[in-house]
Amino acid sequence: MNRIENLLAAMTVEEKIGQLNMVAAGYAVTGPVLASGTAEGIRAGRIGSLLNLWGAQEIHAMQKIAVEKTRLSIPLLAGFDVLHGHKTIFPIPLAEAACFEPRLWEASARAAAIEAAADGISMTFAPMLDIARDPRWGRIAEGAGEDPWVVTQFAKAKVRGFQGGGLPEGLASAGAVAATAKHFCAYGAALAGRDYASADVSERLLHEVYLPPFAAAVAAGCAAIMPAFNDIAGIPMTAHIPLLRDWLRRKAGFDGVIVSDYNAVAELIRHGIAGDLVEAAAAALRAGVDIDMMSGAYSQGLAPAIARGLVSIEAINAAVRRVLKLKERLGLFDDPYRRGSAGASAPNVSAARRDLAREAGRRSIVLLTNDHVLPLSPELRRIALIGPLADARADMLGPWAMAGNASDPVTIREGLAAALPDVEIVFATGVTIAGEDTSGIAAAREICRDADLVLLCLGEAASMSGEAASRANPGLPGAQNALAEAIFELEKPVVVLISSGRPLMISTIAAKAQALVATWFLGVEAGNAIADVLTGTFNPTGRLPVTWPRDVGQVPIFFAERPSGRPADPDNHYTSKYLDMPIEPLFPFGHGLSYSRFGLSKPRINKKDFKRGDELTIEVDVINEGAAAGEETVFLFARDIVASVTRPLLELKGVGKIALAPGEGGTICFRLAAEALTFPGSDLQPVFEPGEFLLSAGPSADPHGLLTVKVRALPG
Ligand code: BGC
């Protein structure tokens, strides 16, 4: 027998249940329940894994109890949320998505894993793969935006980065951590954008939109999956047999660990599908949830559930086997202290990781509008830096930075001062982020009078996005609009920088600013990255990974809509539009300006007719018509014109990038397998249907900028 079967044979039922119990060690609070007596619980064999503890010394102290003071010496898993960096905080995932760079996504996950592992952590609750199309939902900040193709690439890159793909020892390396793809699934479809609310999405939407990123994570070898808090059409994900057992385990072939979300097993009672902890525990275990995070339902309810005949010991054995297997894959049995041992790299912020954070930061920034004021002119002598986000150090970290240090980030003010030593920078906040006090506006306005240009730094506090941070009115909070109005009245050139975890409703500001820049939350190098872009040291390349609405009434909004039988037509009343607002967003998916201008050719294709098994190559010539070296991003979309079910108006199939000197031309080549044009048919099974397709290439999902060719799929 192997190690795991030997252990299973030796374990009591209580010890088995202990392996399925994860508790918070109390350092960080990410949920409503707090555990106490952790050390005692480990010693008694009632705890198999921890969360919210970091620091090699602290984790090793707990590990020592598990290894030396328990009967079977089974090491602990130590889980932690490492969403956008551990000590070196990187841009929030929504920002990083704007880079459209799998190489960078992987690199920042690798760097984060090295630091987290050096801090004793063996498992992270990331990547977050929730497609989000509603900026009211605060957790839109934690994922890679609205599109399944993008989130699928993000999933692969992040899993590889966290788990040490490419390292000789893989997941067992001292610098690798087990990834947890979350939240499975459709959590981003929460009713009215309210966190933890119900989601009711069709089977089709699941198969076309919400499941593919998880399938990609599984195929990339992701060690764990976390079910979401929500129910889908009445079945809470923590007890969802069709999705967890039938789809994830059987169809997608996932044999790793399913770890519940925080307290989610016990919350099955509140969902109203379990009468007590015993029924809750049984429902989750039957669906295939291996680890109960923090609810105590498994530790209190599984033994009685066996007695009541609600679960079998075989089901418990299967869950324990998967947990032990993960511990084995992580190398914990061979050396429980390998993560965080002397000799492993230090967990602290290093110069190289800061450089990576700066690179990720500047590539995440999206230049939304620019009326010839950026890059900042070298002639400027006096800049007024105004607004509550201009010197907001801790906020630059963003919403998930538990091990991060609030004093680490470079603020916008500091970044600019370092980049422009010869320019006088006068500064005032004017208002606080969310306060209603307008008494500071006059002074802020006053210091703008003699300035050549105003940089207005507006936005949200970091705590206004992320978990439990839904906003019914996701605009500028507090008195920031009043501040902006007062500044615009001066009729100076105003560049507005928006720090936020979501697209904010800022149509009026966008119309009045000479330039508008989305700077999200960029982490420790925020100020330097922003200064790089403002000064033109770095020519912006970021593109929106989400559609940016004009107003909250347009939500949910995304580019991959299905066609209406009555598409919007201003001359026809009975068409799909609003009476009081255009249907177009403020900025489309993929939008983002550069200091260069690029010309795109119509796509060239290697064949007009193709069959299953063929590969299409689509070439787009790009020319840099501007005066600065720059990088262009081209999106490839497909539209199936006539199919057995309606297909989205645009489906993203590829993203290409090219760096070009002024006047230089080059070619982006997309390879598109015919199979990429399959879709779930009327029975939800994948079909490849003959007929015509439009392939469109362009700088964003704005239909006006797309260049289109027609191709034809032949039968057979
Ligand atoms: C969140 C998860 C997170 C967990 C552990 C929960 O409240 O929904 O995303 O991984 O806490 O911190």
Task: Work out which ligand 1 atom sits closest to the CA atom of 28.
Answer: 12
pLDDT value of position 4: 97
pLDDT value of position 458: 99
Ligand 1 proximal residues by C-beta, below 6 Å = 30-31, 51, 81, 125, 182, 261-262, 467
pLDDT at 26 over 80: no
pLDDT at 126 over 70: yes
Cα–ligand 1 centroid distance for 517 (angstroms) = 30
pLDDT value of position 36: 67
Going by pLDDT thresholds of 50, 70 and 90, the confidence category of residue 569 is: very high
pLDDT at 566 over 70: yes
Task: Work out which ligand 1 atom sits closest to the CA atom of 294.
Answer: 5
Residue range 433-453: average pLDDT?
98
Task: State how beta strands 630-640 and 651-660 pair.
Answer: antiparallel
Task: Output the DSSP codes for 654-698.
Answer: EEEEEEE-TT-EEEEEEEEEGGGG-EE-TTSSEE---EEEEEEEE
Q: By alpha-carbon position, which residue is closest to atom 8 of ligand 1?
A: 261
Task: Work out which ligand 1 atom sits closest to the CA atom of 182.
Answer: 9
Residue range 178-203: average pLDDT?
98
Task: Work out which ligand 1 atom sits closest to the CA atom of 183.
Answer: 9
Q: What is the pLDDT of residues 454-494, one digit of tens each?
A: 999 999 999 999 999 999 999 999 999 999 999 999 999 99
Cα–ligand 1 centroid distance for 262 (angstroms) = 6
Element holding 214 (H helix, E strand): helix 212-219
Q: What is the pLDDT of residues 660-716, one digit of tens each?
A: 999 999 999 999 999 999 999 999 999 999 999 999 999 999 999 999 999 999 997
Whether omega before 183 lies within 30 degrees of 0, making that bond cis, reads yes
Whole-model pTM: value is: 0.97
pLDDT value of position 614: 97
pLDDT value of position 343: 61
Cα–ligand 1 centroid distance for 261 (angstroms) = 6
Q: How far apart are CA 155 and CA 214, in angstroms?
A: 8
Cα–ligand 1 centroid distance for 303 (angstroms) = 26
Q: What is the pLDDT of residues 105-121, one digit of tens each?
A: 999 999 999 999 999 99
From 182, 196, 258, 262, mutation site for ligand 1 pocket: most ligand atoms within 8 A of C-beta? 262
Instruction: Kindly state the tokens that stand for 5.
Output: 């079967």
Task: Work out which ligand 1 atom sits closest to the CA atom of 180.
Answer: 10
From 29, 80, 81, mutation site for ligand 1 pocket: most ligand atoms within 8 A of C-beta? 81
Q: How far apart are CA 540 and CA 139, in angstroms?
A: 26
pLDDT at 32 over 80: no
Q: By alpha-carbon position, which residue is closest to atom 2 of ligand 1?
A: 261
pLDDT at 31 over 70: no
The answer to whether 165 touches 179, Cβ cutoff 8 Å, is no
Q: How far apart are CA 420 and CA 414, in angstroms?
A: 10
pLDDT value of position 28: 56
pLDDT value of position 350: 85
Q: What is the pLDDT of residues 359-393, one digit of tens each?
A: 999 999 999 999 999 999 999 999 999 999 999 99
From 22, 27, 29, 30, mutation site for ligand 1 pocket: most ligand atoms within 8 A of C-beta? 30
pLDDT value of position 1: 63
pLDDT at 172 over 70: yes
pLDDT at 71 over 80: yes
Instruction: Kindly state the tokens that stand for 86.
Output: 């551990």
Share of residues in the chain with pLDDT > 90 (%): 95
DSSP conformational letter for 449: T
The mean pLDDT value of the chain amounts to 96
Task: Work out which ligand 1 atom sits closest to the CA atom of 31.
Answer: 7
Neighbouring CB atoms inside 10 A of 129's CB total: 32
Cα–ligand 1 centroid distance for 510 (angstroms) = 35
Residue range 395-424: average pLDDT?
97
Cα–ligand 1 centroid distance for 268 (angstroms) = 16
Q: What is the pLDDT of residues 582-631, one digit of tens each?
A: 999 999 999 999 999 999 999 999 999 999 999 999 999 999 999 999 99
pLDDT at 344 over 60: no
pLDDT value of position 271: 98
pLDDT at 39 over 90: no
Cα–ligand 1 centroid distance for 229 (angstroms) = 9
pLDDT at 347 over 80: no
Q: What is the pLDDT of residues 487-510, one digit of tens each?
A: 999 999 999 999 999 999 999 999
pLDDT value of position 170: 93
The answer to whether 94 touches 58, Cβ cutoff 8 Å, is no
Count of H-run helices and E-run strands, the chain? 19, 27
Q: How far apart are CA 124 and CA 158, in angstroms?
A: 11
From 22, 261, 291, mutation site for ligand 1 pocket: most ligand atoms within 8 A of C-beta? 261
Q: Kindly name the residue from 261, 395, 532, 640 that is annotated as catalytic.
A: 261
Catalytic residue list contains 702: no
* Torsion region of 399: left, alpha or beta (phi above 0 gives left; psi -120 to 50 gives alpha): alpha
